[in-house]
Chains A and B, each alone.
Chain A
Amino acid sequence: MVGLALAFAAGCLAGSVTALLHTKLNIQPLLSGILVMLGLYSINLRVMDGRANIPLLNKATVFSLLQGTPLEESAALLIPTIILLSMLVLLFLFLKTQFGFVLRATGDNDQMVRALGVNTDRVILIGLALSNALVALSGSLIAQYQSFADISMGIGMVIIGLASVIIGEVIFGTTPLLRRLVAVILGAVLYRLVIALALELGMAPTDLKLISALIVTLALSMPSIKAYLIAWKKKHSSPYSRKGGQA
């Protein structure tokens, strides 16, 4: 429990650093994130005592909270679900507040938000701190679930997160807000299901990164593919045949 809270706080800190790099030193947002990740690699190694892998067997975790109760068997499913649903509710309520509105609007159009008297640098700081805190919380849950922490756990996670968001939004829709939040969660589940399916079909685990890359490419190109399909349909439903002559 304490571990989760500490991870949350550490994530806040990392997100704040990214935000400051971006807003105060005018480094591009993506590059700011990459820089912080680069630096964190060393920091994580220090936190892990210079070792690349730390086993957490027989350590108290959130999952061991239910030990000795009838729910012990299903702890692995129950606890993440409870945390996920409470985060969903909290995030939904937060995004419906005055500050939540401003946070969402800053993502859309920061110039408008500044023109309405809001310090967007501060909004970006709080937004990045919060989102990184959620990422860190997830990471610490994973470590506790698998009973070890590995320095390379997070590699490729940004892209997977992005893919989950896009898959969810494309398939399940974005309006209203609650639907969008649920869509993102379902997108992440769907992504994992596709990976599991690939493994089930006999793909070698070493090919997983390639599969991930393909899924992400597909997810990112979904809007363009949609547009091509619509254009194709239009072309073929035209009363004038391509060969001409008939019409």
Chain B
Amino acid sequence: MLIIESLSKTFNPGSINEKLALDNITLSLQPGEFLSIIGGNGAGKSTLLNCISGVYPMDQGRIILDSMDISYRPEYQRSRYIGRVFQDPMLGTAFDMTIEENLAIAYARGKSRGLKPGIRKAEAKLFQEHLARLELGLEDRMKQKVGLLSGGQRQALTLLMATIVEPRLLLLDEHTAALDPAIAQRVLQLTREIVSRYHLTTIMVTHNMKAALEYGNRTIMMHEGRIILNLQGAEREEMTVEKLVQLFGLKSGAELDNDRLLLI
């Protein structure tokens, strides 16, 4: 499904700010696998997602998605196959356009966009059904601008936009980090529902260790650009947050930065 081979990325090479963000990462995902990634600040989690989606060019390595080598394709071409939700709720939607217009743009993913009408009647009905499933009341507000929505509502909408055309890979970059706990919980639930409905191959970066273990079926931990822990199957089932913290110290030889990681 997704194969990443010896992927490396250094920011500001040759300067005083040089930073090795990804150090020879090799990782592969089975179809339908839901991987959660945890790690402290600067571990390379977001950089990894940004290299997969093509935001940053990589220094070396290969990325294969569904037997296509996408290593050197521009971001917009990869986006035909990859759905994304960002940490910042402002980044996933066009604030000055209506909910249905945003969905219509997402619904045309992978197709050429010509002078056909932006939204057809049948499409509007489909969008309404999808919105109703979010259970946030958005189905009655389709003609309102997205700028009026709360952060949580926007993230739920972005999640819907990322998946309304089934992507081959879904990338979630700390998509609940900027939300208050109650709505974050709801967005995580929705994530689980949507991922399991379409059996989406998914990578979710999170700073919440509990969520990392609770959601998905595989967890990796990153530190200084490397994968230091890979948990799946029975080992993951029995893992607790306390044990994970201990393991982190053992594997990385560093103290966990508690400020950032939620240990709840």
Contacts and interface: CB of A to CB of B under 8 A. Distances in A.
A109 interface: yes
A109 B94 CA distance: 6
Contacts of B113: 98-99, 101-102, 118
A111 B145 CA distance: 18
A175 B118 contact: no
Contacts of B53: 115
Contact of A98 (B79, B102, B114): B114
Interface residues of A, number: 26
B117 A117 contact: no
Interface in B75-119: 75-77, 79-80, 84, 86, 90-97, 101-102, 104-106, 108-110, 113-118
Q: What is the predominant secondary structure among interface residues of chain A facing chain B? A: helix
A122 B104 CA distance: 19
Given A97-B115, A102-B113, A120 B76 contact: yes
Interface residues of B, number: 35
A118 B104 CA distance: 13
Contact of A104 (B77, B80, B94, B108): B94
Contacts of B195: none
Given A96-B117, A120-B76, A102 B95 contact: no
B76 A114 contact: yes
A101 B118 contact: yes
B161 interface: yes
Contact of B91 (A101, A111, A118, A119): A111
Nearest to B92: A112
A45 interface: no
Given A96-B118, A98-B116, A116-B161, A105 B110 contact: no
Contact of B97 (A94, A108, A120): A108
A109 B145 contact: no
Nearest to B74: A119
Given A115-B84, A116-B161, A100 B118 contact: yes
A222 interface: no
A102 B105 contact: yes
Q: What is the predominant secondary structure among interface residues of chain B facing chain A? A: loop
Contacts, number: 86
A96 B145 CA distance: 15
A113 interface: yes
Interface in B100-156: 101-102, 104-106, 108-110, 113-118, 143, 145
Nearest to B110: A117
Interface string A25-46: 0000000000000000000000
Contacts of A107: 96
Contacts of B77: 117
A98 B106 contact: no
A116 B93 contact: no
B93 A112 contact: yes
B229 to A, nearest CB: 29
Contact of B105 (A116, A120, A175): A116
A93 to B, nearest CB: 9
A241 B182 CA distance: 39
A109 B91 CA distance: 7
A176 B96 CA distance: 10
B7 to A, nearest CB: 20
A114 B101 CA distance: 16
Nearest to A104: B97
Given A111-B91, A112-B93, A117 B79 contact: yes
A114 B94 contact: no
Interface string A151-165: 000000000000000
A238 to B, nearest CB: 27
Contacts of A102: 105, 113
Interface in A73-116: 94, 96-102, 104-105, 107-109, 111-116
Q: Interface centre among A98, A100, A175, by most B CB within 10 Å?
A: A98
Contacts of A113: 94, 105
B110 to A, nearest CB: 6
Contacts of A112: 91-94
Interface of B: 53, 74-77, 79-80, 84, 86, 90-97, 101-102, 104-106, 108-110, 113-118, 143, 145, 161-162
Interface of A: 94, 96-102, 104-105, 107-109, 111-120, 174-176
Given A97-B117, A101-B113, 7 more contacts: A104-B94, A105-B97, A109-B91, A111-B91, A112-B91, A116-B161, A118-B76
6 contacts: A98-B115, A105-B105, A108-B94, A111-B86, A113-B94, A115-B86
